[in-house]
Amino acid sequence: MNWKKTGVLITGGTGSFGKAFARELLRRHRPRVVRIFSRDELKQHQMQEEGISGPTLRYFIGDIRDRDRLSMAVRGVDLIVHAAALKQVPACEYNPFEAVKTNILGTENVLSAALEHGVERVLTLSTDKAVNPVNLYGATKLCAERITVEANSYAGGRDIRFSCVRYGNVLASRGSVVQAFERQRERGEVAVTDMRMTRFWIGLEQAVAFVASCVESMRGGEVFVPKIPSMRIADLARLVAPGCRIREIGIRPGEKIHEILVTRDESRHARDLGRSFVIEPEFHWWGTKGRARGKALPDGFEYRSDTNREWLKPADLVRLLKRGPGR
């Protein structure tokens, strides 16, 4: 892929990932044009104040629910990185129709605009919450994954491909548990819902690099999953708020004890690429069957946060937190 000839649109471009991805594109890859698409003018202004600007960068006010506005923003781009979503679990539960309109119907609008304008590559960002979902947010992201993968069916003979990236919690991203612990440590006590709880963790820079590599290798229909470390939430609390009392308050509605990134059923059609997994599509309407790469996974394999072979070390956590969001 020749980045210098590529026009890129980032939906949800003012979020933690979008900011970091835009910054990296401008610094390292230098695409022909980068367009930030989001509905928050204040965050766009703040991005510009932070120096995320340049002659090839454009800011578009708009909502992925608005297909006409999205269609205007998509014209002339070659790649869409779709990061826009409603992500707060309680907010999605309390506003279920809004979650569906943004996360599912908004994703449909992105895919339809790409097909309409012949955008060559679309990569949708997903989450471990989409795997065996127990809350509405996860369910909407599962739907977003599925319609992204199956959108390849509508490409026909054109070189238009759709894939997904699925990863865990992003350290120090806006609204993360790390920020909650940082606020709570001021009073000498932090709240943990369940001391057994584990999560997958990825640094923002790692997430950006992984997405860029998936753009370069995608063939259409894959769900890419990075191999990332786990950490117990209680251990995270101890590192972020050393010396503070930890109070166990009980698991919240819509929460899991452990997360999964690759299920046993998915592992039957997934491959090990060394530093990541790729879940190949089960249906092959667009002629991709038999393209296996990497190694087959063992029978019954499941990529879980509690049985993960890699665990986040305290020194690595401190290093990642010092970098902060978007740096």
Q: What is the CATH number of the domain that holds 79?
A: 3.40.50.720
State residue 326's pLDDT score: 40
pLDDT of 297 strictly over 80: yes
For the chain, how many structural domains are there in total?
Answer: 1
Q: Which listed residue (129, 141, 227, 256) is catalytic? A: 129
Q: For residue 206, give its domain range.
A: 3-323
How many beta carbons lie within 10 A of that of residue 248, not counting itself?
13
Is 129 an annotated catalytic residue? yes
State residue 40's pLDDT score: 93
pLDDT tens-digit readout, 272-289? 999 999 999 998 777 765
State residue 171's pLDDT score: 84
Q: Which one, of 251, 223, 217, 268, lies nearest residue 127 by Cα? A: 223
Q: What is the average per-residue pLDDT within 294-302?
A: 96
pLDDT of 83 strictly over 70: yes
State residue 327's pLDDT score: 35
pLDDT tens-digit readout, 194-253? 999 999 999 999 999 999 999 999 999 999 999 999 999 999 999 999 999 999 999 999
Tokens standing for residue 122: 């679309």
Number of helices followed by number of strands (H, E) in the chain:
12, 17
- Please state, in angstroms and rounded to a whole number, the distance separating the CA atoms of residues 325 and 317: 13
Give the torsion through C-alpha atoms of 232, 237, 238, 239, to 10 deg. Answer: 90
- Please state, in angstroms and rounded to a whole number, the distance separating the CA atoms of residues 17 and 114: 21
Geometric angle at alpha carbon 46, from 44 and 47, rounded to 5°: 65
State residue 74's pLDDT score: 97
